[in-house]
Amino acid sequence: MQLNDAAVVDTFAEAFAMWGARVVITAETAEWARAAAQSMTGFATSIIGCKCEAGIETELPPGETPDGRPGVSVLLFSTSAEGLGKRLVERVGQCVMTCPSTACYSGLAGTETVVVGGQLRYFGDKYQMSKLLDGRRLWRVPVMDGEFLVDDRFGIQPAVGGGNILILGRDQAVTLRAAEAAVSAMRRIPGAILPFPGGVVRSGSKPKSRYSFLFASTNDAYCPTLRSVAPESQIPEGVGCVLEIVIDGLDLAAVETAMRRGMHAAAAGGAMQISAGNYGGGLGQFQIALRSLLEGVGAGR
Amino acid sequence: MTLDLTLHTTPAVPLEADVLTPARLAGLTALEAAKLIVVHGNQPAELGEFFRVAGGTDGEIHLSGDLARVKLIGTGMTEGRIVVHGPVGMHLGAAMAGGEIVIEGNAGDWVGPEMTGGRIVVRGNAGHMVGAAYRGGHVGMRGGEIVIFGNAGNEVGSGMRRGLIAIGGDAGDFTGVNLLAGTIVVLGQLGWRTGAGMRRGTILAMHAAELLPTFSFACTYRPVILRLYLPYLRRLGLPVSDAQVQGSYQRWCGDAIELNRGEILLLETGETAPAA
């Protein structure tokens, strides 16, 4: 299948069941809200090394936040509900509560919840106050610039992690441009984030290693420098660079929509080939076929 | 279809009508509802001796007439809705646990005493002891919301432990006396001795007030929590301004004769507190 000048490989992205949360951070200015969000989503590229994956979903105007101040919506994903709760407590506590003027709210109204503010309140050393408004419990933790306001519980929901596309291009410059175009299109999808730097990862991995102490190693099949030596190389002649975009979403539809828009944008941006990473279908709970997506099949919008 | 009760005979003495709840009237025909027993003074009487009953209940009851002598409407209510087109007497929504009561007029003393849930809205004024503990009790309102559009009398939220009371007009003396927790908002003027004996909780007011000497000034700041509370009250219809939502508030801590963990937040307006 061709998409502009790009060949779309008949393969699928293998994605995984995860748990996701939406965190709404507000502050006196959009800059401070963004600072907290950037801190919270730092070092959250891959479950493999970071225990969670996170990214900024969107910036929110004052009219769309609980307290009428500028805000940022962050999505955070982990492999279990318990793990997600722990990561939320760590990151809200260390990255949001510490940031001047911020407040932090749950952005999901799911029936499943984890305690966040109810843990962070202990920082208040018994000076904290709780408020129950319209069925919602919040904690006011005294801090040096006033109070840190945080929801007692955060809604979480089953989610999908590890959706991906691989963009193969002639050289690094062209492939970067294609990837940037794809990221720009994919970042507009509500409920989806791209957890890697700038939305792009160049060190794609496979779930095995020739070293016994490692459980993941470089995806040699897509390393152009190994085209002639890696036995399972998938690099066509003329390809000098491969970049991957990983997508985590609050549901499968968000992931698929992002993948579809990303493929179109990458193809229009100069990609030679578009593929996806998988492990043979034996690890992930979701298989997202690229060609079916482009043909309009799937849960995506 | 709502159940409509119209007062046709004004009671000569107070009428205790704790049968007027959606749950108690559920499934009754108008005729059956009219047979329910109320207490007129110290004598039992049938509801129909005072009210003309029409329609059938779908969880909503409408009452019309001057019910200033009708007490205990909505007592122990757990669900549904009561709308009163006119004034009501004392003990409205006593120990109420759920549902909503809307009064399109004034209410007597003891609105929502010891209630645990639901919402009471009074479009006019309310008497003393809104959301309070009964005499001899230590704990008043334990949950739910009371919204008074007009003025309220003394001891609003006495012994209150949880919930929200909002007064659109002025409040009398001893607002939040012995407050255990919860939130009281007064958009008008406070009376004397606000928060006396309060342990925890919040009293928020939009005008300067002379506070007891057992309250200590902490700082002036902009509490983010008010950016949730005040717009919420505005959505309920209270006249909350943007200046109040975004304003700076003096934080006073007290009462030092108790835990000293309560707070009184006063909007910084530049005005001088009226002399006590």
Q: Check CB contact of B202 with chain A, cutoff 8 Å.
A: yes
**Among chain A residues, CA nearest to B184:** A131
Cα gap B205→B171, rounded to integer Å:
10
Q: Check CB contact of B225 with chain A, cutoff 8 Å.
A: yes
The helix (H) or strand (E) run that includes residue A149 is: strand A146-151
Please tell me the predicted confidence (pLDDT) of residue A299: 56
Give residue-wise pLDDT tens across range B174-199. 999 999 999 999 999 999 999 999 99
In chain B, residues with a C-beta closer than 8 Å to the C-beta of A149 are 224-225, 228
Cα gap A59→A73, rounded to integer Å:
6
- Could you tell me if B2 and B22 are in contact, meaning their C-beta atoms sit under 8 angstroms apart? no
Cα gap B67→B198, rounded to integer Å:
34
**Among chain B residues, CA nearest to A148:** B224
Cα gap A141→A129, rounded to integer Å:
7
The torsion angles phi and psi of B121, rounded to 5 degrees, stand at -120, 125
Q: What was the ipTM of the complex prediction?
A: 0.94
pLDDT band with cut points at 50, 70 and 90 for residue A12: very high
Interface of A with B in 141-170 (CB under 8 A): 146-147, 149
**Among chain B residues, CA nearest to A142:** B223
Cα gap A101→A89, rounded to integer Å:
18
**Among chain A residues, CA nearest to B142:** A132
pLDDT band with cut points at 50, 70 and 90 for residue A24: very high
Q: Which of A103, A129, A134 sits opposite B224 (nearest CB)?
A: A103
Q: Is B232 in Cβ contact with A133 (below 8 Å)?
A: yes
Under DSSP, the state recorded for B190 is: -
- Could you tell me if A255 and A276 are in contact, meaning their C-beta atoms sit under 8 angstroms apart? no
pTM recorded for the entire structure: 0.94
Q: Check CB contact of A68 with chain B, cutoff 8 Å.
A: yes
Q: Shortest CA distance to A7 belongs to which of A172, A281, A239?
A: A239
Q: Is B222 in Cβ contact with A133 (below 8 Å)?
A: no
pLDDT at residue A179 tops 80: yes
Q: Shortest CA distance to B67 belongs to which of B40, B88, B36?
A: B88
Q: B48: which strand partners?
A: none
Q: Is A131 in Cβ contact with B229 (below 8 Å)?
A: yes
The torsion angles phi and psi of B100, rounded to 5 degrees, stand at -140, 140
How close A97 comes to chain B (CA, Å)? 13
How close A151 comes to chain B (CA, Å)? 11
Give residue-wise pLDDT tens across range B112-132. 999 999 999 999 999 999 999
Give residue-wise pLDDT tens across range A70-113. 999 999 999 999 999 999 999 999 999 999 999 999 999 978 99
How close A208 comes to chain B (CA, Å)? 49
Longest dimension (CA), chain A: 66
